[in-house]
Amino acid sequence: MRDPDALAVGSFRIFCQNVNRNSLLLECILASSIDDFDIIFIQEPPWRLIRHAPSGVAPEGDPVIGTVIHPDWGLIVHKLDLRNEGADNPWVAVYVHKRLKGLRPGYHWDLIDH
């Protein structure tokens, strides 16, 4: 019997969606797509201040900024420049299902830097 979590290379199921910075919509997509897709591209992901982390420099703490995370999905995004307050948040987030973890997906700065 074939392992249901096994995935043959080359048979990826990909989904693309613009969520218009809507956290609830993104959470629903991630929760409902666990068995349907392997990679999800999200346009205009929601970015917000999650909390302030303790800091030895700033009394109010360092800002922790991010988007929706889910235990079944790994997140790949262009890193934020927290030193530049006017910098844009990433326009695309890529969620890769945990069953592809063995392929070691990642962001290749040498190929794509935008």
What share of the chain has pLDDT > 70, as a percent? Answer: 77
Residue 46 lies in a domain: yes
Q: Residues 13-37: what's their mean pLDDT? A: 96
- Give the domain range for residue 91: 14-103
Neighbour-count burial of 78, counting CB atoms closer than 10 A to its CB (0-12 exposed, 13-18 middle, 19+ buried): middle
- Whether 1 is covered by a domain: the verdict is no
What pLDDT shows up at residue 36? Answer: 95
Instruction: Say whether pTM exceeds 0.75.
Output: yes
Residue 81 lies in a domain: yes
Q: Are 5 and 98 a contacting pair, CB within 8 Å?
A: no
**Is residue 101 over pLDDT 60?**
yes
Q: Which of 103, 92, 106, 100 is nearest to 17 (CA)?
A: 92
pLDDT at 7 over 80: no
5: in domain:
no
Q: Is residue 69 part of a domain?
A: yes
Is position 78 within any domain? yes
Instruction: Give me the number of domains the chain comprises.
Output: 1
Q: Is residue 47 part of a domain?
A: yes
Report residue 103's pLDDT band, with 50, 70 and 90 as the boundaries: confident
